[in-house]
Amino acid sequence: MAASVHLLPAVFLFSVFPAVVWSRGDVLELGDADWDYLAPEHQTMLVKFYAPGCGHCKKLSPEFEKAASRLKGTVRFAKVDCTSQTETCSRFGITGFPTLKIFRNGRDSGLYDGPRTTDGISQYMKKQTGPDSVQLQTPEDLQNFVNHYDASVVGVFSGEESSGLLEFLKAAALLRDQFRFAHTTERHLGEEHGIQAEGVLLFRPPRLSSRFEDSVVVFTDYLTINSLRRFIRDHIHGLCPHMTLENKDRLRVRDLLTAFYDLDYRHNVKVSNYWRNRVMKVASQYKTAGLTFSVANKKDFLSELEDDFGLGTSDGGELPFVTIRTKLGHKFTMREEFTGGGGGVVVVAETFDKMVNDPDKDVLIQFYSPSCSHCKKLQPIYTELAEQVSADPNMVVVKMNGVDNDVPLSYDVQG
C-alpha cells in the first residue's frame, strides 16, 4: 500500500512534463508541452528551431553545442524540433531551418543574426546578457568598463529624467548585439574628456591605442537613435581596425586595404601593433582618398587568401600579405615587400644605378634573400632605422632582393 502511494506523484510528474529532455552537452530540448513552463525561467536564452534532416542544421549543431558549453551558467541554449513540436514553431513564425531566436524571460526578443561559429556565437551572446547599458557611478567604474578588448560607448547625462538618456537607452537596446554601452549621471566623469553638459564618449579599445589617432571620440550633437548609430558607425573602427571573420562584411562596404600577418592581440599586443602602426602611418596620409585600411590574422583568412589572391602559407615569410578588395569585389595583391610606408625603399635591377649610385646621397643598402632567417630577424630593425633617417634628404636606406635580381658585378654579395 505504501509503495503505491509513493509511485503516484512520479507518474503524475511525467504526465505533466513529457517533453523535458536534456540533449547531449548543455542544450535543452524544449517542446509544445513545456515551453510556457520552462522558457520564462531563463533571463537570456538562445533557441535553435531545426529539422533533423536539414543539412544546414547538422552543420550548425556542433558549433551551437560548443558555444552552449562555453557559456554554461551565463546564457541558456535550447532547441526545438519543428517536425514534432509544430505548435511552438508556428507560434514564433518559423518558416525555415535552422532559425535562431533570442528570448528574454520567455518573451521573443528577435532573430539572432550574428555569426554561426562557436567563437562568433559566444561573443555575440555575451553581449546579450545583463542590462542594455551599464550604469557607472565612479571614475573606477568608468575605467574598468572601458579597459576592454572591444570598443565602449558611454553616455554622460544630467539626470535620470534626461530625454537624452532615454533616447540613449533605446539605442542601446537596439544595438547591444554590436556594441558595448554604459551611461552615467555623474557629469564629472565626462568633464575630463571635454563634456560640460551632456554627450557621448566613444572609447576605442586600449589594445588599439596609437599616436596616429585619438583614443576617445566625443559626440555632442542632438541625440537620436539614428544620429548615435551614425556616430558609432563612422568612428568606432578608426584609421585601421582589426578585421575578423565576424566584422569583415561591415568593413568591406568600402574599398579596403588589409595587411594579413601573425596578429594576436590576446597574447602578443606588441608584435601585433608593430605592423599595424606602419599601416596606420600610411592610412593617416590617405584619410580623404576613399581607401580604408585594416589588419587581420592571416591564419583566420588562409582559405580566402589562397582562393581569392593565390597566396599560400609559404609566401611572404614573416612579412604581411597586403591586399586590396574594392567594394565592387575587385581584388589586388601588393607584390612588392611591405616596408611600412617609407621604412626602406625596395630596389630592383632596373632602378639600382639611379637609386644607389646617386653621387648626391649617402646610401645604405641591404642585399637579402626572402628565405634567409637572419634577414627576417633584421627586418624590423632595418625598417626602424629607415624611418628614423627618412627626414634627411641626403640619406637613403634601401634594400634589394639578391635572389630575384641581378646584383651588379662591382658588389661582392656572397651571403
The reported pLDDT for the residue numbered 136 is 96
The reported pLDDT for the residue numbered 9 is 45
Q: Are 412 and 365 in contact (CB under 8 A)?
A: no
Number of C-beta neighbours around residue 320 at 10 A: 23
User: Residue 21: pLDDT band by 50, 70, 90 thresholds?
Assistant: very low
Point out the domain boundary residue: 274, 300, 333: 333
Q: Is residue 19 part of a domain?
A: no
The reported pLDDT for the residue numbered 268 is 86
Do 82 and 101 lie in a common domain? Answer: yes
Flag whether pLDDT at 359 surpasses 60. Answer: yes
Q: pLDDT for 259-304, tens place per residue?
A: 999 999 988 888 888 899 989 988 888 777 788 999 999 999 999 9
Q: Is residue 408 part of a domain?
A: no
Q: Please identify which of the residues 57, 82, 89, 240 carries the catalytic annotation.
A: 57
Range of the domain at 193: 134-236
Do 85 and 63 lie in a common domain? Answer: yes
Flag whether pLDDT at 363 surpasses 90. Answer: no
Flag whether pLDDT at 13 surpasses 60. Answer: no
Point out the domain boundary residue: 96, 113, 128: 128
Residues in the chain, how many? 415
pLDDT mean over 43-69: 95
Q: Is residue 3 part of a domain?
A: no
Flag whether pLDDT at 10 surpasses 60. Answer: no
Do 358 and 268 lie in a common domain? Answer: no
pLDDT mean over 109-128: 89
Do 110 and 42 lie in a common domain? Answer: yes
Q: Is residue 151 part of a domain?
A: yes
Point out the domain boundary residue: 75, 103, 128: 128
The reported pLDDT for the residue numbered 341 is 43
CATH at 325: 3.40.30.10
Flag whether pLDDT at 23 surpasses 60. Answer: no
The reported pLDDT for the residue numbered 365 is 84
Give the mean pLDDT of the chain.
84
Q: pTM value?
A: 0.61
DSSP state of 198: S
Q: What distance in Å separates the CA atoms of residue 85 and residue 388, rounded to the nearest whole number?
A: 69
Largest CA-CA distance found in the chain, in angstroms, rounded:
113
Do 188 and 226 lie in a common domain? Answer: yes
Do 119 and 193 lie in a common domain? Answer: no
Q: Is residue 116 part of a domain?
A: yes
Q: Is 240 a catalytic residue?
A: no
The reported pLDDT for the residue numbered 7 is 42
The reported pLDDT for the residue numbered 390 is 67
Flag whether pLDDT at 367 surpasses 90. Answer: no
Flag whether pLDDT at 342 surpasses 50. Answer: no
Do 140 and 210 lie in a common domain? Answer: yes
Cell reading at 347: 630596389
Do 167 and 231 lie in a common domain? Answer: yes
CB-count exposure of residue 245 (10 Å: 0-12, 13-18, 19+): middle
CA torsion sign for 20, 25, 26, 27 is negative
Flag whether pLDDT at 343 surpasses 50. Answer: no
The reported pLDDT for the residue numbered 185 is 96
The reported pLDDT for the residue numbered 6 is 46
Do 232 and 142 lie in a common domain? Answer: yes
Q: Is 82 a catalytic residue?
A: no
User: Residue 366: pLDDT band by 50, 70, 90 thresholds?
Assistant: confident
Q: pLDDT for 317-336, tens place per residue?
A: 668 889 999 888 888 887 65
Q: Is residue 82 part of a domain?
A: yes
Q: What distance in Å separates the CA atoms of residue 31 and residue 84, rounded to the nearest whole number?
A: 8
Split into its structural domains, the chain has a count of: 4
Q: Is 57 a catalytic residue?
A: yes
SS3 for 135-175, per residue? ECCCHHHHHHHHCCCCCEEEEECCCCCCHHHHHHHHHHHHH
Cell reading at 135: 550604469
Q: Is residue 282 part of a domain?
A: yes
Q: Please identify which of the residues 82, 89, 240, 375 carries the catalytic annotation.
A: 375
pLDDT mean over 381-394: 74
Do 175 and 223 lie in a common domain? Answer: yes
pLDDT mean over 366-370: 82
Q: Is residue 413 part of a domain?
A: no
- List the one residue out of 399, 295, 287 whose CA is nearest residue 352: 399
Q: 7-21, 125-139, 282-296: which range is least confident on average?
A: 7-21
Asked if residue 98 has a cis previous peptide bond (ω within 30° of 0), the answer is yes
The reported pLDDT for the residue numbered 176 is 85
Flag whether pLDDT at 346 surpasses 70. Answer: no
Q: pLDDT for 196-254, tens place per residue?
A: 889 999 999 999 988 889 999 999 889 999 999 999 998 998 999 999 988 898 899 88
Number of C-beta neighbours around residue 8 at 10 A: 9
Q: Is 89 a catalytic residue?
A: no
User: Residue 351: pLDDT band by 50, 70, 90 thresholds?
Assistant: low
The reported pLDDT for the residue numbered 1 is 44
pLDDT: which is higher, 1 or 53: 53
The reported pLDDT for the residue numbered 270 is 84
